[in-house]
């Protein structure tokens, strides 16, 4: 797996394009570790307005209520099938009876999205489906 922090490694260029800054990029062998994780996925979607990037963050809920996300990063929109959209996937440890996860999405000009609390099973994907961005008034 390639591991890096997209919040610091993806840099906006002056012309609106993006560069990947190679600082902090590392290769991690995950074959044994990944079987203990599950994932949360979805597709962020808007027909109203172009959005260049959105921040996706996941926080634990239940016995632990994180102030800071345990996973976060940026996703970038593409215009496909009549809408601006982008899929995402976040790998997290599987849920316990006392811990679930909430996903938050924020993008400039749109309301913050907050999912309901979801459980994540080991080696399985919890799909949030299509997540519409709602313009702020």
Pick one of 1.10.3720.10, 1.20.1560.10, 2.60.40.2190, 1.10.357.10 as the CATH number of 35-132.
2.60.40.2190
Task: Kindly report the number of other CB atoms within 10 A of residue 73's CB atom.
Answer: 19
Domain boundaries, the chain: 1-30, 35-132
Q: What percent of the chain has pLDDT over 90?
A: 38
State the Rg of the chain over Cα: 16
Q: 119 — phi, psi (to 5°)?
A: -95, 145
What is the tens place of the pLDDT at every residue in 71-116? 888 888 888 888 888 999 998 988 888 999 999 999 988 999 999 9
Amino acid 132: pLDDT = 93
Quote the CA–CA distance of 106 and 108 in Å, as a whole number.
Answer: 7
Amino acid 19: pLDDT = 80
Amino acid 137: pLDDT = 82
Contact between 70 and 39 (Cβ < 8 Å): no
- Residue among 40, 92, 101, 41 nearest 66 (CA): 101
Amino acid 105: pLDDT = 96
């Amino acid at each position: 797996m390639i591991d890096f922090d997209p919040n610091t490694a993806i840099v906006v260029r002056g012309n609106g394009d993006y560069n990947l800054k190679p600082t902090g990029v590392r290769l991690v062998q995950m074959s044994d570790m990944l079987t203990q994780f599950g994932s949360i996925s979805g597709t962020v979607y808007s027909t109203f307005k172009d959005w260049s990037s959105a921040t996706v963050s996941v926080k634990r809920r239940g016995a632990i209520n994180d102030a800071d996300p345990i996973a976060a990063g940026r996703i970038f929109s593409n215009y496909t099938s009549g809408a601006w959209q982008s899929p995402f996937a976040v790998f997290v440890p599987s849920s316990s009876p006392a811990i679930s996860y909430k996903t938050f999405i924020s993008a400039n000009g749109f309301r913050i999205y907050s999912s309901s609390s979801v459980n994540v099973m080991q080696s399985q994907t919890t799909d949030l489906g299509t997540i519409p961005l709602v313009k702020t008034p």
